[in-house]
Copies of this chain bind each other. A is one copy, B any other.
Amino acid sequence: MPQDKEKLAGSESKAIAKRAEDYSQWYIDIIDVAGLAEHGPVKGTMVIKPYGYAIWENIQKILDAKFKELGVQNAYFPLFIPESFLKKEKEHVEGFSPELAVVTHGGGKKLEEPLVVRPTSETIMYSTFAKWIHSYRDLPLLINQWANVVRWEMRPRLFLRTTEFLWQEGHTAHKTADEAKEYALMILNDVYKWFAQEYLAIPVLVGQKSQNERFAGALSTFTIEALMQDGKSLQMGTAHDLSDHFAKSFEVMYLDEKGEQQFVFQTSWGVSTRLIGGIVMSHSDDNGLVLPPKIAPIELVIVPIFRNADDAQLQEAKKIAENLKNTFRIKLDERDNLRVGEKFFEWEKKGVPLRLEIGPKDLAAGQCVLVRRDTGEKIVCPLSDVEKTVKDLLEKIQTNLFESALARQKQNTVSVDNWDAFVESLEKGGYISAFWCERAECELEIKEKTKATTRCLPFDAEEETGKHVCVHCGKAAPQGKRWIFARAY
């Protein structure tokens, strides 16, 4: 019975661990049963399967259009960076050294200088920017690259931490320090936050990283952070104000309006395939993946309930598919080797936001049934009304996913003012809002004791009146604003 073997061989029959019981296994199971990715043969690497890659393509499409709208140009820089380039920026090489993959042999020979496989492209790009930028008229220079990068990963997790991952890295050069900082903030707010909230339906905190957590070589790092269902935080995207640190190392200069040579001020910013891990962990449930409609490879799956290829309900399903295919990303499931329940089960696990069922009785009544993936709600819909109803429901699902995630984030954010409460609260998971002395050593001590770190100082944190002291060490909190602490991926 080949069909039986086929079923056993696939992942369909695997049980999904319960979130509440084993969150780590649940995450692995969701990725597996939804067919998003699997581990590659080399430890830490990942094969992104077609369904997972289709999500990445949607992410790329939306972000790339936004970048182009902002005047950012795509380019492509080499994968291999001379080891000496990395060493030009002291903090940068210190930060990345432990994570590097090194090519020592090429074309059958030992290389004179080892080559680093890019962990990020500041050094190779800015050595080139130095040749491209001459005058103030060449600024701002706004460049983006879609590429793979490699950072050696000891504890790999699909999408969240992989030795190789896909990302976009934006790199810009500006005339002034203020302009660079503003640009990094604009990317964070108008692109990354907007994208996470509007498309991925993931509410994010936006703010500034502590000294410990900032990018190696940056003056400041700005971040979007999201709370996952297990109460841990995920850094979803960052934008760095690089000041003139790299410009000085790579002599990226311009002639200003007065004819004087000046260093440029730079930014870099990126989001990666890690976002897919964030989508999985934000919305999915014990039955499988749940995808926000705006990013789902398939928004609507049409499942006719039929016995023979000429059954009227199959014909009607084809007609519906034909009518909707230019408006929504749809899939008509006309396979004849699976029972309808198996099909429902499969699409549920793959997180398709909306399912349209049509059987003989539905057809006779001139209707179909729409089933929401997020709530399980069934909506009987007249056949004359399908397009409008699908549109409304997809919008409702998108909104509901965002609002549910936002409610969870709010529920799981607490203000604490003493260390006992900090520790106790942390065990429950979620965000802790607390005063902090802003000393690097203090943060490291907190991390050692609790595995929690500062996630950011939110931009909207208000300065509170009175004298405030660090929740951990009791020293003064210099800004009088609360930082956000959490355990993080």
- Binary interface profile of A, 85-101, with partner B (CB < 8 Å = 1, else 0)? 10000000000011111
Q: Mark A115-154, 1 if CB is under 8 A from B, else 0.
A: 1010000001001100100111110000100011010111
CB distance from A85 to the nearest CB of B (A): 7
Closest Cβ of chain B to A294, distance in Å, is: 20
**A164 touching B107 in the complex, CB below 8 Å, given contacts A5-B135, A137-B337, A147-B148:** no
- Contact between A135 and B166, CB atoms less than 8 A apart: no
Tell whether A80 is near chain B: CB-to-CB under 8 Å. yes
CB of A345 within 8 Å of the partner chain: no
Stretch at the interface among A21-29, A49-57, A393-401: A49-57
- Judged by a CB distance under 8 angstroms, whether A78 is at the interface is yes
Query: In the complex, which residues of chain B have a beta carbon less than 8 angstroms from the beta carbon of A2?
Result: 135-136, 255-257, 259
- Which B residues lie within 8 Å of A82 (CB)? 41-42
Bound Cα distance from A132 to B76, whole angstroms: 32
Known contacts A100-B107, A259-B2; decide if A50 and B73 are in contact (CB<8 Å).
Answer: yes
Query: Is B97 a contact partner of A108 (Cβ separation < 8 A)?
Result: yes
- The complex is assembled from copies of this chain, and their number is 2
- Say yes or no: A108 contacts B98, CB within 8 Å: yes
- Cα distance A259–B257 in the bound complex, in angstroms: 78
9 A-B residue pairs with Cβ-Cβ distance under 8 Å, sorted by A, are A2-B135, A6-B135, A41-B85, A41-B127, A45-B80, A78-B164, A79-B150, A100-B108, A147-B148
Total contacting residues, chain A, CB less than 8 A = 71
* Complex Cα–Cα for A432 and B56 (A): 47
Cross-chain contact of A104 among B99, B102, B337 (Cβ < 8 A): B102
Question: When chains A and B are docked, how far (Å) is the Cα of A82 from the Cα of B41?
Answer: 8
A10 touches B50 (CB 8 A): no
In the complex, are the beta carbons of B76 and A255 less than 8 A apart? no
Known contacts A5-B135, A102-B106; decide if A79 and B164 are in contact (CB<8 Å).
Answer: yes
User: Does A47 lie within 8 Å of B78, measured CB to CB?
Assistant: yes
Contact A6 B74 (CB under 8 A): no
CB atoms of B108 and A78 under 8 A apart? no
Q: Evaluate contact between B75 and A53: CB separation under 8 angstroms.
A: yes
A103→B106 contact, CB < 8 A? no
Shortest Cβ distance from residue A99 to the other chain B in the assembled complex, whole angstroms: 6
**A124-B40 contact in complex given A102-B105, A106-B152, A108-B97, C-beta closer than 8 Å:** yes
Contacting residues, chain B, for A148 (C-beta < 8 A):
79, 147-148
B-facing mask of A157-185, CB < 8 A → 1, else 0? 00000011010000000000000000000
Quick one: closest B residue to A255, CB to CB? B2
Whole-angstrom distance between the Cβ of A477 and the nearest chain B Cβ: 37
Q: Does chain B have a CB within 8 A of A426? A: no
